């Protein structure tokens, strides 16, 4: 489901003594997070923060924040989740945020049958694995081109091609 604001990271600590913070990005790369100058401390767009010169630093982002000028000010932001406005994100048509997949209906491409609801996504390295729940069962589906036919965040649907053994007990 397309959301107006999405969580993209967490302020995990301070950097130096002049109020810089370390942000753990929850996106594919720290560089993606660095493309935003405005972030929010609220999932509804409240408590706007202006990032000044965010830069990747290993697997985190280091940034100064407007009006945060001391280590004490920065320390108050520790463990805060940061959000971006979804419309500010520049994504290709076939890209989406994991957070938007959660709650989507998984539909069989051949039968139009509801296979379940996407409840979680595990990032395994080779490919993501979608957790699809139906009733009291959970199915693990590899996010590969042969299985995931299309993703329609706007209409809250993902179209799946069932492979033998994914949704049944067959070998």
Stated pTM of the model: 0.76
CA 106 to chain centre: 19
* Joined tokens for residue 12: 């995990």
List the domains of the chain with CATH numbers: 5-86 (2.40.30.60), 98-160 (2.30.30.240)
Give the three-class secondary structure for 32. Answer: helix
Q: What burial class does residue 68 get, using C-beta atoms within 10 Å of its C-beta: 0-12 exposed, 13-18 middle, 19+ buried?
A: buried
pLDDT in tens, the chain (171 residues): 678 899 999 999 999 888 899 999 988 789 999 999 999 999 998 899 999 999 999 889 999 999 999 999 999 999 999 999 988 988 777 778 888 899 999 999 999 999 999 999 988 878 889 999 999 999 999 999 999 999 998 899 999 998 877 776 544
């Amino acid at each position: 489901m397309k959301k107006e604001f999405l969580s993209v990271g967490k302020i995990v600590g301070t950097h130096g003594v002049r109020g810089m913070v370390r942000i753990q990005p929850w996106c594919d790369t720290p560089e993606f997070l660095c493309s935003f100058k405005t972030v929010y401390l609220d999932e509804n767009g409240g408590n706007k923060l202006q990032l000044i010169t965010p830069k990747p630093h290993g697997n985190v982002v280091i940034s100064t924040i407007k009006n945060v000028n001391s280590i004490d000010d920065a320390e108050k932001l520790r463990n805060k989740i940061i959000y971006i406005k979804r419309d500010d994100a520049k994504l290709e048509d076939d890209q989406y945020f994991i957070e938007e997949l959660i709650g989507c209906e998984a539909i069989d491409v051949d039968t139009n049958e509801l296979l379940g609801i996407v409840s979680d996504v595990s990032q395994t390295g080779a490919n993501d694995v979608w957790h699809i729940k139906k009733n009291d069962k959970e199915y693990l589906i590899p996010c590969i081109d042969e299985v995931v036919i299309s993703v329609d965040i706007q209409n809250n649907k993902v179209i799946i091609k069932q492979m033998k053994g994914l949704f049944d007990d067959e070998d």
